[in-house]
Amino acid sequence: MTPRLRLEVLSSGDFDAIHAETLKVLEQTGVFVEDDEALDIFADGGARVDREARMVRIPGELVEAAIAACPTDKGEPVTFSNFDEGVMYVDPRSGERREPRTADAGDAALLVDALANIDSYAAAVRPIDVPAATAAVHGCEAALLNTSKHVGAEATSGWEVRVCAELGACIVGSLDALRDDQIVTFGTCPVSPLQLPRDATEVIVECARLGLSDCILSMAMAGGSAPVTLAGTLVVHNAEVLAGIALAQLTERGSPVTYGSSTTAMDLRFAAASVGSPELALIGAAAAQIARRYKLPSCIAGA
């Protein structure tokens, strides 16, 4: 852990403008929501739901109430994690480049466990030697057996959230104990622009019901799935994250959430995400600053 870092790239006026435009997007344009249960939760919470188009328009006061309902950031030191979730793996023993297996997730967790400057393990690879519907569970089990550090599970369904939570509960003693000592947490991503697919809403809803932390992380791309300007991209990014936060708080008021960003610019030559670029650094710093203004913990992607 290191002392809290701070880089201010937005003025107070910049933040106010981004926040105001975000509320306008959520209330007037809305977000596409795939799953019926999530549509019901939004409708019961006061959002305007077009069930035929599966569009949800969220009033500004509902969004701000959701932000206020979140547990506030405790100002803990900055921590570092590996990135996730690799689709290929280079076997350290043979040098072979291949698709990852469950044992590889265990090896990756063991490596992270030995690295003093990495504070937690995120699902480095998704195993392909098990059914896709249970891959996150097998990866989480392999990680928990090979590291004493916090494990970030990449669940893609409510069922996977529950089973991974049960694995964590086996270690700390119970689900109640897991809420106090969250050795397993979760993360999910909206789909840009402005979509909450079924896998994302299932994870958000189940985490809220269990009282477990969920990182809602946008991966918008400036010039691709978001406006080419960084300010416009931050509005889309912020709207996606806040839509997920609103769903979490409408499911269970006070549920813990983390404000996440892996948003960057699209490389216009190759139509690929420009990871490690100056734009990613600027957007990440701005996203962390926005999270601080909302008094939320943040998870920001690096190079």
Q: Where are the domains of the chain?
A: 1-65+187-193+207-303
Q: Which residues contact 126 (CB under 8 A, 6 or more apart)?
A: 85, 86, 87, 100, 135, 136, 139, 154
Identify whether the C-beta of residue 88 lies closer than 8 Å to the C-beta of residue 128.
Answer: no
Q: Which residues of the chain have pLDDT under 70?
A: 1-5, 303
Which residues are paired to 187 by β-bridges? 215
Query: What confidence score (pLDDT) does residue 302 get?
Result: 81
Tell me the C-alpha distance between 156 and 182, whole Å: 19
Residue 4: its pLDDT value, please? 63
* Among 292, 299, 296, 275, CA closest to 152: 299
Residue 1: predicted pLDDT: 56
> Dihedral of CA 22/27/32/35: which sign?
positive
Q: What is the pTM of this model?
A: 0.94
pLDDT tens profile 52-96: 999 999 999 999 999 999 999 888 889 999 988 889 999 999 999
Average pLDDT in the chain: 95
